[in-house]
Amino acid sequence: MDKGGAGLNNDHDPAGLYTVIERLRALAIPFWLDSGVLLALVRDGQINPRDKDIDLGVEAAGLDALLAALPDLEKLGYRSLVLRYRGQVFCVGLEPIGRVADRRLTVSIHVFHRVGEWLWAPQTQLYVPPPAPDVYRGRRSRLGRWLCRRLEQQMYGRAEARLVPVPKRNSLVSRVLRFFYLRLDKGWLAETWPWREVYVPLTWQVPARLILPLGELQVAGRVYPVPARLEDYLAYRYGEWRRPVEAWYYWHDDGAVVHEKPLVVKKRLQKC
């Protein structure tokens, strides 16, 4: 698929997208563009300036090669973060550091497992205050409600939360949560009371035929690996993907998200 578009606006690769994917290609690691960066390049021909990160996907079969490549990727100016769910790596993060930290976006490489005709990948979501839809679908305990209030007050701020649902990165609570978040198994955290009432387990579930075998997208002379049935995949995830929306919450609006624990989804798919 060929898109004209403006490409990667200034300085050739300000977000670091092409820098990372060229290194992954050189290391022969199969991967694809995913989520917001994929949507933006297909629809607009450039990265959305409001995007906070770059999402990539990789099959579990390529995970060992990806982990072995982390020292090479870190040389590009990143710190690597390996996140686990019930002992399995489900996301590899690349956080820009040093001189490139203010320009580049964080890269999240999500690990997809194949079961028959499906791909699935663990996800988690922290409580976000209104006007965002509540990620937790049960009835919270008194302690769970207290945790929500503390998150709203300490991480977001009441007035700020109504406008921009992004945590205050420098608050004490935010720093403490980040410290533990990077060290704890996310499956344990998301499935243990009372944390599961504010940090909720989710799963991406996608028909494998929409992604594999991978296709290509050309934008402004650059070639990107993308899901095979690109427009069908975007419709599966975003519905009317050609129409921009002001507010989009993946745990509520993403067609690939199921509100089930990842290993429950795995067992269900194995029975199909």
Give the model confidence (pLDDT) of 9-31 as tens digits. 435 676 889 999 999 999 999 99
Residues sharing a CB contact under 8 Å with residue 202, sequence separation 6 or more, in sequence order: 122, 123, 124, 125, 135, 251, 257, 258, 259, 260
Paired tokens of 207: 């028909």
Distance CA 216, CA 206 (A): 19
- What pLDDT sits at residue 170? 61
Q: Cis peptide before 194, with omega less than 30 degrees from 0?
A: yes
CB contact burial 161-177 (16+ within 10 A = b; e otherwise): beeeeebeeeeeebeeb
Q: Answer positive or negative: Cα dihedral of 95, 48, 35, 167.
A: positive
Tell me the per-residue pLDDT of 38-56, one tens digit each, with 9 for 90 and over: 999 999 999 988 888 999 9
- What pLDDT sits at residue 14? 67
Q: Cite the beta strand spans of the chain per DSSP E.
A: 2-3, 32-34, 53-59, 78-85, 88-96, 106-115, 118-126, 199-207, 215-219, 222-226, 257-258
Q: Which residue has the higher pLDDT, 164 or 254?
A: 254
Average pLDDT over residues 96-124: 94
Whether the predicted pLDDT of 68 surpasses 80:
yes
Whether the predicted pLDDT of 177 surpasses 70:
no
**CATH 3.30.460.40 residue ranges in the chain?**
2-123+203-271
Q: Which residue has the higher pLDDT, 225 or 14?
A: 225
CB 45 within 8 A of CB 4: yes
pLDDT category of residue 3 using cuts at 50, 70 and 90? low
- What pLDDT sits at residue 161? 40
The hierarchical CATH code for the domain 2-123+203-271 is 3.30.460.40
Whether the predicted pLDDT of 32 surpasses 50:
yes
Distance CA 73, CA 169 (A): 25
- What pLDDT sits at residue 2? 53
Tell me the per-residue pLDDT of 202-223, one tens digit each, with 9 for 90 and over: 999 999 999 999 999 999 899 9
Average pLDDT over residues 236-254: 95
